[in-house]
């Protein structure tokens, strides 16, 4: 378990901290995620995709829950993802991070902002639309387009 923690705690903590901007809360989220893995080791199975990617999504979702001060909206075994990303080593993770950041940086600014607000700030699409003054459909399209662009770029 400690090996798992050593390998992925940095990623989980960094994602939580990015959302919460509070080291204490981020550590709480990180501890809770690994603790749940400890208590329920079958929650993640190989068929769910990359473990690192799964932990990263769990970190984001739990951090958003914490941000909204609500109970967890999904259990650890609710999230299934399709990802072949290798996040097991720091080198591979850094390489992927650079690539993703490059793709995101090249996105239109509106798409970048929409993804940022939705993913890291936990705003709903309608909240983003209200904040930016853009139509809801436009916000939805921007986010979908951004994710599709990212997917294609990484899988290329």
Q: Does residue 141 interact with another protein by CB under 8 A?
A: yes
Rg of the chain over Cα atoms, rounded to whole angstroms, equals 16
Residue for token pair 């951090």: 63
Nearest approach in angstroms of CB 133 to another protein is: 18
Beta carbon nearer to another protein, 132 or 141: 141
Residue for token pair 């904040």: 131
Torsion from C-alpha of 125, 127, 130, 132, nearest 10 degrees: -70
Among 39, 109, 133, 156, binds another protein (CB under 8 A): 39
Positions in 78-107 near another protein (CB under 8 A): 79-83, 85, 87-89, 93-94, 96-97, 100-101, 104
Report the greatest alpha carbon distance in the chain: 47
Q: Evaluate whether 30 touches 37 at the Cβ level (below 8 Å).
A: no
Positions in 46-75 near another protein (CB under 8 A): 49-50, 52-54, 56-57, 59-61, 64-65, 73-74
Q: Does residue 134 interact with another protein by CB under 8 A?
A: no
Q: Does residue 132 interact with another protein by CB under 8 A?
A: no
Q: Does residue 14 interact with another protein by CB under 8 A?
A: yes
What distance in Å separates the CA atoms of residue 139 and residue 148, rounded to the nearest whole number? 14
Among 30, 36, 66, 76, binds another protein (CB under 8 A): 30
Nearest approach in angstroms of CB 46 to another protein is: 9
What distance in Å separates the CA atoms of residue 108 and residue 105, rounded to the nearest whole number? 8
């Amino acid at each position: 378990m400690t090996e798992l923690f050593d390998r992925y705690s940095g990623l989980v903590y960094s994602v939580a901290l990015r959302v919460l901007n509070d080291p204490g809360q981020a550590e709480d989220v990180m501890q809770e995620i690994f603790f749940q893995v400890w208590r329920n080791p079958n929650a993640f199975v190989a068929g769910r995709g990359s473990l690192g990617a799964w932990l990263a999504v769990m970190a984001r979702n739990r951090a958003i829950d914490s941000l909204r001060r609500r109970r967890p909206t999904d259990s650890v075994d609710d999230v299934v993802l399709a990802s072949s990303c290798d996040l097991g080593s720091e080198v591979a993770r850094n390489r992927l991070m650079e690539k993703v950041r490059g793709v995101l940086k090249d996105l239109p600014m509106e798409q970048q902002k929409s993804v940022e607000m939705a993913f890291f700030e936990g705003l709903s699409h309608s909240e983003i639309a209200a904040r930016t003054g853009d139509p809801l459909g436009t916000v939805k399209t921007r986010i979908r387009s951004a994710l599709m662009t990212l997917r294609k770029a990484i899988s290329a």
